[in-house]
Amino acid sequence: MGKVVMYSSVSVDGFVADENDQPGQLFDWLSNGDVPLDESGALKVSRASYDHTRPYWDQIGVTIVGRRVFDMTDGWDGTPPGGIDHMVVVTHRPAPEGWGPGAPFHFVDGVEAAVAKAQELAGDRTVEVAAGDVGGQVLAAGLVDEVRMDVVPVVFGSGRRFFGSVHAQHLLEGPDVVVQGNRVLHLRYRVRRRPS
């Protein structure tokens, strides 16, 4: 079974979006370099960011998101972003009316069920969990193996927090990886497991 990774770009003060759900400059690092990150050529990053990010993206089999993100993106028009095979959407509501049954999106009630479904679909590939409220819930449930963040030098002051509304302390190891790109610092931490 693949590992479960909580991931996002994040402001220096810990936000994945501002109060209006806008990412501001958080993704500028995806277009400030000269190395194409994907086949479209739309994303161009520094060599350091490419060498760190591309192998990670290639490992992802499934991404877990919340219904809020799904609705804000209009479900990516039924095609998971970045070439990901499947998306698992954590929601208490059914799929939108008229949603294509053939689209590789799975609507699941609760984070434990979402991780189980994602691991089933991903096999030995990585299950990525979008940071924010759902990511924080998955972390709080003890189901995250690793935290990855692309820290961007911007301060939001308020907004949507990387770890959502986690109400307990969680210890991370490391960081195991620290990579400096153009206006981004890529970090990777292993999650310290609590004794059973």
Is residue 9 within 8 A of residue 156, CB to CB? The reply is no
Q: How many CB atoms lie within 10 A of CB 67?
A: 15
Instruction: Please tell me the predicted confidence (pLDDT) of residue 22.
Output: 92
- Write down the pTM of the prediction: 0.93
Instruction: Please tell me the predicted confidence (pLDDT) of residue 40.
Output: 83
Is it the case that residue 194 has pLDDT exceeding 70? no
Is residue 164 within 8 A of residue 16, CB to CB? The reply is no
Runs of H (alpha helix) within the chain: 47-59, 67-72, 111-122, 133-140
The single-letter DSSP state of residue 194 is: P
Residue 34 token pair: 């000269």
Is it the case that residue 196 has pLDDT exceeding 60? no
Kindly report, residue by residue over 161-181, the tens digit of the pLDDT.
999 988 788 889 999 999 999
Instruction: Write the CATH number of the domain with boundaries 4-191.
Output: 3.40.430.10
Is it the case that residue 129 has pLDDT exceeding 80? yes
Band of residue 45 on the pLDDT scale cut at 50, 70, 90:
very high
What backbone phi and psi angles, to 5 degrees, belong to 46?
-70, 160
Instruction: Please tell me the predicted confidence (pLDDT) of residue 55.
Output: 95
Task: Map out the domains of the chain as residue ranges.
Answer: 4-191
Is it the case that residue 30 has pLDDT exceeding 90? yes
Q: How many CB atoms lie within 10 A of CB 130?
A: 21
